[in-house]
């Protein structure tokens, strides 16, 4: 069985979006201790650890506003967990969902090392 490639966004494109007024969700699926070590500070950031998502499902995520299709950019440490969550959200009927390739590690290396690395 072949999987369709999941939609991705690179960290440089994410950085441009973070500078904009665009409404979107930046979904960080890392665990709490990881978030304390490295974090993108932005009002659009939503933290939902993969371990919690696997138990609570999408009910813990903000739904797009009625009539508005907000994009969702899913990020983790290197891009592995976020790709799993991206695929799962798409299978669950979410649209405009993108994996942030390289994760917070690539963001810290290529965009802003002040977010922290581990």
In whole angstroms, what separates CA 5 from the centre of its chain? 17
% of the chain surpassing 90 pLDDT: 75
In tens, the pLDDT along 5-54 reads: 899 999 999 999 999 999 999 999 999 999 999 999 999 999 999 999 88
Contacts of 53 (CB under 8 A, 6+ apart): 29, 60, 61, 85, 88
Residues pairing with 47 in the sheet:
28
Whether the CB-CB separation of 26 and 46 falls below 8 Å is answered with yes
Residue 28 inside a domain? The answer is yes
**Is 51 inside a domain boundary?**
yes
pLDDT digits (tens, 9 = 90+) for 63-107: 665 445 789 999 999 999 999 999 999 998 888 999 999 999 999
Phi, psi of 62 (to 5 degrees): -70, 135
How many structural domains comprise the chain? 1
CATH code, domain carrying 13: 3.40.250.10
Closest to 104 (Cα-Cα) out of 86, 117, 91, 88: 117
Across the chain, what does the average pLDDT equal? 91
Q: What range does the domain containing 18 cover?
A: 8-61+69-115
For the entire predicted model, the pTM comes to 0.91
Please indicate, yes or no, if residue 3 is contained in any of the structural domains. no
Terminal-residue alpha carbon distance, the chain: 35
Q: Do residues 18 and 40 touch, judged by C-beta distance below 8 A? A: yes
């Amino acid at each position: 069985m072949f999987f369709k490639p999941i939609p991705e966004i690179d960290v440089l494109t994410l950085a441009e979006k973070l500078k904009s007024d665009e409404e979107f969700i930046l979904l960080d699926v890392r665990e709490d201790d990881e978030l304390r070590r490295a974090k993108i500070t932005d009002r659009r950031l939503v933290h939902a650890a993969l371990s919690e998502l696997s138990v609570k499902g999408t009910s813990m995520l903000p739904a797009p506003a009625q009539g508005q299709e907000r994009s969702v950019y899913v990020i983790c440490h290197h891009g592995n967990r976020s790709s799993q969550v991206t695929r799962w959200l798409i299978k669950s009927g979410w649209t405009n969902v993108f994996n942030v390739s390289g994760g917070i590690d690539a963001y810290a290396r290529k965009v802003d090392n002040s977010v922290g690395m581990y």
